[in-house]
């Protein structure tokens, strides 16, 4: 079983991270939100049945209806996720933060469950299927751990698990960045 509260690794005093400037944080967030939204918009095409489905995806044994379910859940998580990291949203709009968090969790669990089904039907081989299965399991687990932590009112631990969850959500973005580069 995964330890929901992994030990924090002590750093030697000489390796303290330098605080990032406010401008760097804002630009980084904007870039991440832009990429996340762009991938989400492109992914919603499966829900609208618009545009072509790549050959390797269309060859999946379980493409119907699981691709639409996966793309819709994951795209929703990609759209909602970045806003959850804005301090002003978390502190001043707590009801909206909570509602968007519930939408994000629903998107992750739905998208992750559909990913597990799709992973069993990949046409690209067992290594790809195993990789996508492990990603789906980690995505669902990190999200559920985050929910468990906030229900227990452990806000700091909840925040760490949500960062892990969104990092796994962003794998959709990184996959689309490095796949074209690998060809």
Domain ranges of the chain: 54-182
pLDDT in tens, the chain (183 residues): 566 666 565 555 556 666 667 888 889 999 999 999 999 999 999 999 888 888 888 999 999 999 999 999 999 999 999 999 998 888 999 999 999 999 999 999 999 999 999 999 999 899 999 999 999 999 999 999 999 999 999 999 999 999 999 999 999 898 888 777 665
Q: How far apart (Å, rounded) are the C-alpha atoms in residues 4 and 12?
A: 24
Tokens representing 145 are 């751990």
Tokens representing 144 are 């559920």
Residues in the chain, how many?
Answer: 183
pLDDT the model gives residue 50: 87
- What SS3 string covers 139-170? HHHHHHHHHHHHHCCCHHHHHHHHHHHHHHHC
pLDDT the model gives residue 56: 87
- Give the residue from 38, 155, 161 showing the smallest Cα distance to 105: 161
């Amino acid at each position: 079983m995964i330890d929901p509260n992994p030990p924090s690794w002590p750093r030697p005093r000489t390796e303290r991270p330098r605080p990032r400037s406010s401008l760097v944080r804002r630009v980084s967030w904007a870039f991440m939100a832009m990429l996340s939204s762009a991938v989400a918009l492109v992914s919603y095409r499966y829900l609208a049945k618009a545009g072509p489905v790549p050959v390797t995806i269309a060859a999946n044994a379980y493409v119907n209806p699981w691709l639409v379910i996966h793309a819709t859940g994951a795209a929703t998580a990609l759209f909602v996720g970045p806003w959850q990291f804005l301090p002003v949203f978390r502190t001043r709009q707590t009801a909206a933060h909570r509602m968007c968090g519930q939408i994000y969790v629903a998107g992750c669990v739905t998208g992750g469950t559909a990913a597990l089904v799709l992973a069993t039907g990949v046409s690209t081989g067992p290594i790809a299927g195993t990789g996508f299965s492990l990603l789906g399991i980690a995505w669902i687990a990190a999200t559920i751990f985050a929910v468990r932590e906030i229900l227990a009112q452990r806000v700091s631990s909840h925040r760490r698990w949500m960062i892990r969850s969104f990092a796994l959500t962003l794998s959709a973005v990184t996959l689309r960045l490095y796949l074209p580069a690998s060809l």
